[in-house]
Amino acid sequence: MNPLKIVFIGDHDHGKSTLIGRLLYDTGSLNREKLSELLASSNKYKTYLNYSIVTDQLLEERRTGNTIDSAHIPFKTRKKEYIIIDTPGHLEFINSMISGMGYADIAVLVIDVTKGVTIKTRLELLLLSLMGIDKIILAVNKMDKVDFLSKIYEQAKKQILGQLSPIPFKYTAAFPISAAYGDNISKLSPRTKWYAGCSLVKALDDLKPSRQYNPRALRFPVQDVYTLGKIKVLAGIIISGSIGKGREVIVFPYFKRSKVELLKPGASAKTHENVGLVLATNIPAKRGDLVLDINKQPVFSRSVSAKIFWLSNKPLRIDKNYTIKTVFQKINCAACSITNKIQPNSFNLIEKPDSVLRNEYATINLKSDNLFVYETFNSLKHLNRLLLINNNEITGIGFIISHP
């Protein structure tokens, strides 16, 4: 029932949109209008259909043949339901790329066999690892341009994996494909008899979903406070653990204990459920406060270290004020030092730089007059994700790792 969300990444012109169009066409997922539009199109050499028009929807995308913003496209095979997330191929649209990636379960990396790894490929993998998407399928595309030779494929694969090795990711499998001609996508190609694996669609169908952790520590950020008749109801979503009527809790930032007197809509609720709760004692709770487990608490600290990817044209500077937003809070802070950074072009590690520039990945130390709230339990680390905001613009994304 739950569709698998696959993000397609890769540099522009390496064939992402063509591969998606082909997948939709091969699995019979195109509706009548799309199909007739596709059949009426063909590439300039008239040797195959122009599959990328299936995904390029905006006038500007069709005019230039470049994907500009991420799109979510549902499709299904005989075995499974999917949502494809198509992302732009140009670095200038990195904001749209990130917005698409963030929702994915797994990634398909499309690389043109004749071009190999580019700067953008590396940046995308960096971003994926930052987002915790570590299952990656490698689609080595345009095999038709190298006559489907196994030697060239093996060389390209080795080179790609070598160049990507500094980035922590779990690569699951590689496929020699031609998106334009349909080789090894929904069925095995007679032109790659040397290839011993299965088709891309079969591999996707056979993927086992990742194990879901069910952390037990209660975390309930107060999203809003509603007054219903005479009672004050704290509304929000339980991001971890469960709540029942009569349960004892601690409320941050007051560090006061209280009991859950009433719960809506039912008498108990689990992770991801939206609830309204009424506390037994009169705590002046407001949006941004936290209702927490008594025993298993997060860490509270006025300084933290974080890994961040910088997105703004204005560099990150030491001692400049930023707003940090996490699932727990939104507070003002400043970077007090930069431990190191990786530059996108060379992948060199630079120790103690004095600023972080656009598309660089850095470890920084933040301080604030308020308390940062973050998790040390492995199963809750996803709650440490953060946005860095300046003048209402998201300038950086990342996660809190520890105390400095």
Residue 274 binds to other proteins (criterion: CB under 8 A): yes
Which one among 31, 165, 348, 378 touches other proteins, defined by CB under 8 A? 31
Residue 325 binds to other proteins (criterion: CB under 8 A): yes
Instruction: Between 10 and 236, name the residue whose CB sits nearer to other proteins.
Output: 236
- State how far Cα 127 lies from the chain centre: 8
Euclidean distance between CA atoms 329 and 288, whole angstroms = 6
Tell me how far, at minimum, the Cβ of 241 lies from other proteins, in Å: 14
Burial class (CB in 10 A: 0-12, 13-18, 19+), 230: exposed
Euclidean distance between CA atoms 335 and 316, whole angstroms = 8
Helices (H), 89-187: 94-101, 119-130, 150-164
Cβ atoms within 10 Å, residue 73: 18
Smallest CA-to-CA distance from 403 within 304, 333, 302, 298 is with 304
Instruction: Between 195 and 328, name the residue whose CB sits nearer to other proteins.
Output: 328
State the binding string over 304-323 for other proteins (x if CB under 8 A, else -): -------x------------
* Tokens describing residue 330: 């939104």
What length does the chain have? Answer: 404
Residue 95 binds to other proteins (criterion: CB under 8 A): yes
State the binding string over 368-387 for other proteins (x if CB under 8 A, else -): -----------------xxx
Which one among 44, 151, 211, 272 touches other proteins, defined by CB under 8 A? 272
Residue 265 binds to other proteins (criterion: CB under 8 A): yes
Which one among 216, 264, 381, 403 touches other proteins, defined by CB under 8 A? 264
Residue 32 binds to other proteins (criterion: CB under 8 A): yes
Tell me how far, at minimum, the Cβ of 31 lies from other proteins, in Å: 4
Which one among 20, 98, 160, 380 touches other proteins, defined by CB under 8 A? 98
Q: Tell me the C-alpha to C-alpha distance, in Å, between residue 149 and each of 109, 112, 156, 301.
A: 20, 14, 11, 57
Which one among 72, 170, 256, 320 touches other proteins, defined by CB under 8 A? 72
Which one among 18, 178, 271, 363 touches other proteins, defined by CB under 8 A? 271
Which one among 270, 302, 317, 320 touches other proteins, defined by CB under 8 A? 270
Pairing assessment for the beta strands 135-141 and 170-176 based on DSSP bridges: parallel
Q: What sign has the CA pseudo-torsion 95, 100, 106, 112?
A: negative
Residue 102 binds to other proteins (criterion: CB under 8 A): yes
Provide the β-strand partners of residue 84.
6, 73
State the binding string over 228-257 for other proteins (x if CB under 8 A, else -): x----x-xxx--------------------
* Tokens describing residue 398: 């990342």
Size of the site for other proteins (CB under 8 A): 54
Which one among 4, 327, 350, 371 touches other proteins, defined by CB under 8 A? 327
- CA dihedral 138→88→348→388, nearest 10 degrees, is -120
Instruction: Between 193 and 286, name the residue whose CB sits nearer to other proteins.
Output: 286
Q: Are 122 and 347 in contact (CB under 8 A)?
A: yes
Residue 226 binds to other proteins (criterion: CB under 8 A): yes
Euclidean distance between CA atoms 55 and 73, whole angstroms = 8
DSSP letter string, 172-208: EEEEE-BTTTTBTSSS--GGGTT--S--HHHHHHHPP
Residue 73 binds to other proteins (criterion: CB under 8 A): yes
In the numeric block, the tokens 């991001």 are attached to 239
Which one among 4, 13, 27, 35 touches other proteins, defined by CB under 8 A? 35
Euclidean distance between CA atoms 246 and 376, whole angstroms = 27
Query: Please, which of residues 50-69 interact with other proteins by CB under 8 A?
Result: 57-60, 68-69
Tell me how far, at minimum, the Cβ of 220 lies from other proteins, in Å: 12
- State how far Cα 387 lies from the chain centre: 13
Instruction: Between 248 and 273, name the residue whose CB sits nearer to other proteins.
Output: 273
Smallest CA-to-CA distance from 111 within 83, 143, 87 is with 143
* Tokens describing residue 168: 């922590």
Instruction: State the residues that interact with other proteins by CB under 8 A.
Output: 1-2, 28, 30-35, 57-60, 68-74, 95-96, 98-99, 102, 223-224, 226, 228, 233, 235-237, 264-265, 270-274, 276, 287, 311, 325-327, 330, 385-387, 389, 392, 394, 397
